[in-house]
């Protein structure tokens, strides 16, 4: 099962979600497509399970409100909430959003 603690890291959904989110925040404001973002973290492009886990992680991050992208466009952007959370976790001061 994908996301099971017994899975190797590249198949563990929680681990892959964390890596994908970190990667998207690191390259922000550069918007990458889902495929380009996944290629940055997938070690073995011939491993379909690894590639599918990465794509599922992107979908899950979108559903949880940490990524935004339009279906036709597929350029992934971390949401302001994701950027604020990353700043907090890294120990940076909060930047207030404009009203």
pLDDT, tens digit only, all 99 positions of the chain: 445 557 889 999 999 999 999 999 999 999 899 999 999 999 999 999 999 999 999 999 999 999 998 777 789 999 999 999 999 999 887 666 555
| Token code pair at residue 35 | 């495929």
d(CA 85, CA 91): 10
Q: How far is CA 29 from the centre of its chain?
A: 14
CA-based nearest residue to 18, from 85, 74, 75: 85
DSSP state of 29: T
Task: Report CA torsion sign: 64, 65, 67, 70.
Answer: positive
* CATH number for the segment(s) 9-89: 1.10.10.10
């Amino acid at each position: 099962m994908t996301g099971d603690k017994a899975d190797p890291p590249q198949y563990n959904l929680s681990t892959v979600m964390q890596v994908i989110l970190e990667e998207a925040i690191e390259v922000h404001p550069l918007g990458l497509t889902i495929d380009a973002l996944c290629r940055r973290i997938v070690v073995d492009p011939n491993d379909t399970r690894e590639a599918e886990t990465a794509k599922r992680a992107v979908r899950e991050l979108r559903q949880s409100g940490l990524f935004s992208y339009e279906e036709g466009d597929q350029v992934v952007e971390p949401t302001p909430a994701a950027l604020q959370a990353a700043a907090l976790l890294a120990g940076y001061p909060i930047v207030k959003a404009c009203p």
